Chain A
Amino acid sequence: MALIKEYIPIVGQSIVDDLQLLADKLRGKTIQHINSTAVGGGVAEILNRMVPLLQELGVDTRWDLIKGGEQFFEVTKKFHNALHGRPETVTGHDFDIFMETSLKNIAEVNISGNIVFVHDPQPIALVNKRSDNKWIWRCHIDVSGPNQRVWKFLKDFIDKYDSAVFSSPEFSPQLPIRQFLIPPSIDPLSDKNRQLPQETIDAVLRKYSITKDKPILTQISRFDRLKDPLGVIAAYQQVKRYIDCQLILAGGTASDDPEGLKVLEEVKAEAENDRDIHILLLPQNDIEVNALQWASTVIIQKSLKEGFGLTVSEGLWKAKPVVASNVGGIPLQIKHKYSGLLCHSVDGAAFAIKQLLNSPDYARKLGENGKEHVRNNFLLTRHLRDYMLLFLSLYHGEDVVYL
């Protein structure tokens, strides 16, 4: 696990000094993170990196888990889908199951934090145990168009918190409590983002028979309709008419996701007669994903819907020009024509890719701007800073706080 000093060459001494300054202001406070799983999923991934760094900075930070059986997690999975706006039937019995497990957790989880930081809907009811401590609810989900029944059920709990946190302004509802924008982040020292030796990159290209003699377009995403892999192929085909290039579609699909496997089959069928399209199944292979991003000429993220879309920041961090859809958290990461190009359609994506391939200087400038944008706004150090400011905000209601 990386130490805080290892981030200094990347973000500068002064940023790390600021983190220490803020951590010193939190002395005497205990932060207790609570979520539902220690491994797997974005929340566990970020807490696994963030908790040790907060502890190293001197912030007394703990991490606890709630318990739940299969039925409970089936219900919370339904909640998750319903909050994303997908069609889902949630019954009164589902709410009963949720409350039954929640009551057990309320009885069993030891609440020890001065600040209790609850992640996502699974542990949300713990707030019924609040005393004179401070409570934050962190929503990692796209709730821009939620199922109203589930949302109303959760909102009764949300209203009891001191503050809520969302990843994008698009997800922000009107609430009687304070709410903050804290986007997620990438870790520049992780296998997925660290600088790789050229030999590693070349070895990955050789492994998948990808050549370096023509431009490489890449979309890293699981095979899911919402990531529009067929749309990416259509855009590539439009570009290919004028510029000889290759396309990489790389990502994972869960073996228990029949829809994902179906999408993968469709994508393979569409790519069948083109040897320049590389369909790669790379679940959990961070170094290979990293290498493919470094080797790319243009990174694409043509999602139809997106929670935040951190693959955009991953691409920008490698100073690559990125063409991405204007959805979810993507416009926070790309300001159109400043740090990448946004699109709304297959034609728009193809046009943007052609522009970048035909104007390498422009593409390089966008990539450089994008990298600086990520350095300033989407690295783990900014995330740490925002969390500490969030903790401090619980004790200050004013807009200008003198610490």
Chain B
Amino acid sequence: MAYQQAQEPFRFHTRLHLSELTGLRAATLAQLLALIKQVPGSSIYHHTHRFLQQHQYLSPEPPNDFAYWVTEVLGEDELGERLASIDIIQYPTIRALRDKIALTIEDYLKNSAFAKLKFSRSGEEFHFMKSVSFVLPTGYSVIDLKEFAAALRKITIDSIYFHIFEARLRLERGGNDFSNWIANSLGDRELGDRISGLDPYTQTLENLRAALIRIVEQRIGA
């Protein structure tokens, strides 16, 4: 059976990362807030996405670094819950995500006088870091959905991570790479929208891989 061919092949890339230290640290919520407003976007990106790759096997996923620290170190469970439940997929840029995180902490501080007084213990401060991404082409290049589904089974989860998370938020490509290719180069807007509609932040990367394969195979009747 012949499958619809794309105008351009899809070349899978992968992404490896190195954590860069900034030497900046916060011991209170006020310090955390001030630094969240100052640090580079790659630092906000690091602390909201690191867990996805480092704890990729866990389900449910642990929350982002800010939520974890606020809950486990400062004991501010309510703020931790608010930070953990920020729906990252709704924010098209790191700038917008940073503003939402800052606003969430600011709102909480306005109404929680005691929260301002809390300090982390020595050695448990929040340490700001940055992600440096290295993007490399892989050997996988596909021209139709059948090849695409087959490649999804073989690529590393780093590659899935790159095309779904990094492309959308860090590289600001206006959506994930898979949806964009399927909608624009293959002309299948409906399938592109279905993939865009997945919430990648509430599942492991392996579960995400399985969901992608299932949706694409349903489409081609495999």
- B-binding residues in A (CB < 8 A): 14-15, 18, 21-22, 144, 166, 169-170, 172-175, 178-182, 326-328, 331, 335-336, 338-339, 344, 369, 372-373, 376-377, 385-386, 389-390, 392-393, 399-403
Contacts and interface: CB of A to CB of B under 8 A. Distances in A.
B96 interface: no
Given A15-B156, A174-B24, A389-B17, 11 more contacts: A22-B134, A172-B127, A181-B21, A326-B123, A327-B123, A336-B72, A338-B55, A339-B55, A400-B170, A401-B134, A403-B136
B134 A181 contact: no
A22 B58 CA distance: 28
Interface of B: 14, 16-25, 40, 42, 53-58, 62, 68, 72, 121, 123-125, 127, 129-136, 155-156, 158, 170-171
Nearest to A377: B54
Contacts of B20: 178-181
Contacts of A178: 20
Contacts of B23: 172-175, 179
A365 to B, nearest CB: 10
Contacts, number: 101
B21 A169 contact: yes
Given A173-B23, A335-B55, A377-B54, A390 B133 contact: no
Contacts of B129: 169, 181
B171 A22 contact: no
Contacts of A402: 135
A369 B155 CA distance: 23
A179 B68 CA distance: 24
A171 B152 CA distance: 40
Contacts of B132: 389, 393, 399-401
A372 to B, nearest CB: 4
Contact of B134 (A169, A172, A392): A392
Q: Which 7 A-B pairs have the closest CB atoms?
A: A169-B127, A174-B23, A172-B21, A372-B57, A181-B19, A14-B156, A399-B42
A104 to B, nearest CB: 33
Contacts of B127: 169-170, 172
B167 to A, nearest CB: 11
A173 B24 CA distance: 8
A327 B124 CA distance: 8
**Residue among A179, A326, A344, A399 with the highest chain B CB neighbour number at 10 A:** A399
Contacts of B135: 400-403
